[in-house]
Amino acid sequence: MNRLSYVLLVLIGMQIISCKQSRKAEENIPAIQQQVYENEILSSDFSKIVGKDSIQLYTIINKNGIKADFTNYGQRLIALHVPDKNGKLEDVVLGLPTLDDYMNGPKNNFGAVIGRYGNRIAKGKFSIEGKDYQLAINNGENHLHGGLIGFESVIWKGEMLASNSVKFQRISAHMEEGYPGNLDVTVTYTLTDSNELKIVYEANTDQTTVVNLTNHSYFNLKGEGKGDVNDHVMFINAAYYTPVDAGLIPIGTLESVDGTPLDFQEPKVLKEGLDSQHEQIILGGGYDHNFVLNKTPTNKEGLVLAARVEEVQSGRIMEVYTSKPGMQLYGGNFLNGSSSGKNGEPHEKNGAFCLETQYFPDSPNQPEFPSTLLQPGETYKSTTVYKFDVSE
């Protein structure tokens, strides 16, 4: 069986399973809704006035009882409760217990929207229309995730659109962290009744600039603080990746995943590749790589299936769909126990994984990569869906 046939078979199987699980979920709705959410976030712990800005807690919920909590400080997803195969709800994202921990503790990107540019830009430099720009340097000699004060460290305007949907908006001023143009950004989150967390990014500019927005949630399908994720079974719909140098900057080529630890075209547990002596695993300290997503298969909205992750014990399954051409797999390599979660457990190495849908790293300096330029009069728009199911 060739790989395309395999991927198509996987998608068809997931659709059949999804239909069965949707019926199962509907049967379990009353039981789910009666449960108490463990380590539930308190609105009083996420309320503060900073100058003229109000920081508060925003909570959305779908009919199945799946619940997501956000703060408009850094536009962060701070908790996400989803059911296991027995209907038990647990929080599956890493986060901190109070607003003060986010604002005054060590810098982190837990659950945050990342911008203006997710991932790395070599030496923080790029040119637009012959003009050179210098960004903040905050990752060795490179620029990472928007700079010293990125989108994760500012206050956004929040607006509840419905009980299951919330919108955040802000204007990133011209030359903020070195980026040209006033960028008007809106991000909308919706919890559908198909158990999807749908994220829609939109942006407009008054001057040509570069944009690459993503969400930096850390997932552990066992539940936050309940061990490492190295036994999670991962499928990534990508035949190629962008290899990196010692600074984790792409070297400019697309290379096949075949025969490497980065081959997830058939599902395998994450730990299989972590002991590899492959150069890319050594350079990344584990998985910290961008995958070039195949263009098929897609869901009913035309979004590409990027990944599917299963945690066998709980039965939780997460699928990722996106309109972006790439996705970064990060295995929590730099977590070191210096922060603790909402349940008081430390965030240990490999205690979560990130699947960050994106344009490729360093695209402004790589003419062969998909362009991240946004012109005045154009609208940047992308969609990512994290869909949750359970195995039987």
Query: Whose CA is closest to 330, among 354, 349, 356, 359?
Result: 354
Distance CA 81, CA 297 (A): 28
Sorted by sequence, the CB contacts under 8 Å of residue 150 that are 6+ apart come out as: 114, 115, 116, 177
**Catalytic position from the list 216, 232, 289, 347:** 216
Distance CA 88, CA 90 (A): 7
As to burial, measured by CB atoms within 10 angstroms (0-12 exposed, 13-18 middle, 19+ buried), residue 301 is: exposed
Distance CA 245, CA 229 (A): 26
108-135 in b/e form (b: 16+ CB < 10 A) is bbbbbbbbbbbbbbbbbbbeeeeeebeb
CB 210 within 8 A of CB 116: yes
As to burial, measured by CB atoms within 10 angstroms (0-12 exposed, 13-18 middle, 19+ buried), residue 317 is: buried
216 classed as catalytic? yes
Number of other CB atoms surrounding residue 230 within 10 Å: 18
Tokens found for residue 315 = 């039965």
**Catalytic position from the list 176, 177, 311, 356:** 356
176 classed as catalytic? no
Number of other CB atoms surrounding residue 258 within 10 Å: 11
CB 281 within 8 A of CB 260: no
Catalytic residues: 216, 356
